[in-house]
Amino acid sequence: MRLKDKIALITGGANGIGLATAERFAKEGAKIILWDISERGNDVVEELKKDGHEAIFKKVSVTSEDEVKKAVAEAHDHFGRIDILINNAGITKDRTLLKMSKQEWDDVIAVNLTGVFNCTQAVAPIMKEQNYGRIVSASSNVAIRGNYGQTNYVATKSAIIGMTKVWAMELGRFGITANCIAPGFIHTAMTDAMPEEIRKQSLPTIPLGKWGVPEDIANGYLYLASDEASFVSGICLTIDGGAAR
């Protein structure tokens, strides 16, 4: 098993890509710390336990520095270490620039950017003390090519790439790698809520002619979290079916 006895903290783990990642990591031997703002996280953990995996759930808003710090301390007390951080939590509130409200801007920045900062800053000292860690964050292929109506979302996902490169430089000497993944169109509740016309228009831009599934991204997280990627740091792995950039 590629993550045997590793302790993995996954944010936004109750649905979609986060859920697929929790399931994939558990099958590879990891012990799971699942965070989400949805109580459904309890059901996910119960299912993991039924399958013989060790997992705990905590309702946490990554936007709250205090909540994050307390939850990290609890998880560390429970397992004794945190080996992997998957910064997966994210939201969209799309609107064109001239129509976007300040609240829509602030909400997306708070979850997708400040939330990643909060979680990483809280976990990094533990990884430093261990002299081991894997930090993997969710960017997006729109960070590279832009996307109509997503000023706020693209800003956060572009920033994730930059922060990842900084963390690779700052934390590498402590045995910590920092990477990110840039998914393309993936079938999740978030993308299923997109207008049907937009979804149809996306297919011609994808050479493989289909959308991905959450497991595709979970597999990318798995690689970057594993010891197979021990000499990989500071990269953004794009998983988007070859979509036009």
Q: Are the beta carbons of 226 and 2 closer than 8 angstroms?
A: yes
Sign of the CA dihedral running 24, 37, 70, 87: positive
Give residues with Cβ within 8 angstroms of 117, minimum separation 6. 163
Confirm whether 153 is a catalytic residue: yes
Q: CA nearest 220: which of 234, 208, 238?
A: 238
Q: Which of 132, 148, 153, 221 is catalytic?
A: 153
Q: Residue 114: phi, psi to the nearest 5?
A: -60, -35
Decide: helix, strand or coil at residue 18.
helix
Q: 223 near 189, Cβ under 8 Å?
A: no
Report d(CA 93, CA 150) in Å as an integer. Answer: 8
Cα 91 from Cα 70, distance rounded (Å): 23
Distance between CA 226 and CA 193 in Å, rounded?
A: 33
Catalytic center residues: 153
